[in-house]
């Protein structure tokens, strides 16, 4: 006799799914117009511009449904295991989104006005799971095929590594220009993106 698994609303996957659903239920707002706010949490970025390789994920009629990137911002203490112990997260989520906006502004082939975001302030313990489920559900392009968007400046003496694929396709960040050039060109990456999106 087949055994049916009972639905457990407190299962970590189901709890994480509720966080992801809450994020996706939020209204998308222009990334360029964010006003400072308190809290840590998760977010998703959406693109509706004219970059040729992204044509098939471009938002239509104001509907931002397929994120190009998803991420999280956790309080500093969370990296040391100090989760849920009463620390104020400050404006970490807002600051992370502003960092992304600056990365986009620095490029020569993207416009900040073409980006929208959804964000959700979340209790610390649910942030990693919520982020993971959004990424699993949508497989955002900048989380998977084109790595490096969320990278920070590695610092002096650490530029021997390869330039991220994101910066090869979207040049402009000063620190990335100090990294070693890749053998693959932006045209190669663009063709790969187009082929990848056709298969989705």
Residue 161 lies in a domain: no
Query: pTM score, two decimals?
Result: 0.87
* Tokens linked to 143: 């989380």
Residue 167 lies in a domain: no
Per-residue pLDDT, averaged over 175-193, amounts to 95
Rounded Cα distance between 28 and 20, Å, is 14
CATH code for position 51 = 3.40.1440.10
Phi-psi label, residue 184: left if phi above 0, alpha if psi -120 to 50, beta otherwise: beta
Residue 79 lies in a domain: yes
Q: Which domain holds residue 103?
A: 12-143
Rounded Cα distance between 131 and 126, Å, is 9
Structural contact between residues 135 and 199, judged by C-beta atoms closer than 8 angstroms: no
Residue 196 lies in a domain: no
| 61-112 per-position pLDDT tens digit | 345 478 999 999 998 765 555 555 556 779 999 999 999 999 999 999 999 9
Query: Can you list the positions of beta strands (E) in 107-168?
Result: 115-121
Residue 139 lies in a domain: yes
How many separate domains does the chain show? 1
State what percent of residues in the chain have pLDDT above 70.
82
Residue 7 lies in a domain: no
Per-residue pLDDT, averaged over 27-45, amounts to 95
Residue 4 lies in a domain: no
Residue 182 lies in a domain: no
């Amino acid at each position: 006799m087949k055994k049916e698994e009972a639905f457990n609303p407190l299962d970590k996957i189901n709890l994480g799914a509720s966080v992801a659903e809450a994020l996706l239920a939020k209204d998308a707002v222009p990334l360029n117009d964010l006003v400072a706010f308190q809290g840590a949490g998760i977010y998703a970025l959406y693109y509706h511009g004219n970059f040729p390789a992204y044509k098939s994920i471009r938002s239509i009629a104001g509907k931002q449904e397929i994120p190009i990137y998803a991420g999280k911002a956790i309080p500093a203490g969370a990296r040391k295991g100090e989760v849920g112990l009463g620390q104020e997260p400050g404006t970490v989520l807002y600051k992370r989104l502003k960092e992304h906006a600056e990365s986009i502004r620095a490029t020569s082939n993207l416009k900040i006005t073409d980006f929208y975001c959804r964000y959700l302030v979340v209790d610390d313990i649910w942030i990693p799971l919520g982020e993971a489920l959004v990424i699993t559900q949508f497989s955002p392009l900048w989380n998977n095929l084109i790595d490096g968007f969320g990278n920070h400046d590695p610092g002096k003496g650490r530029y021997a590594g390869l330039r991220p694929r994101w910066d090869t396709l979207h040049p402009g960040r000063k620190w990335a220009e100090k990294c070693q050039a890749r053998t693959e060109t932006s045209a190669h990456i663009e063709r790969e993106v187009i082929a990848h999106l056709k298969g989705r």
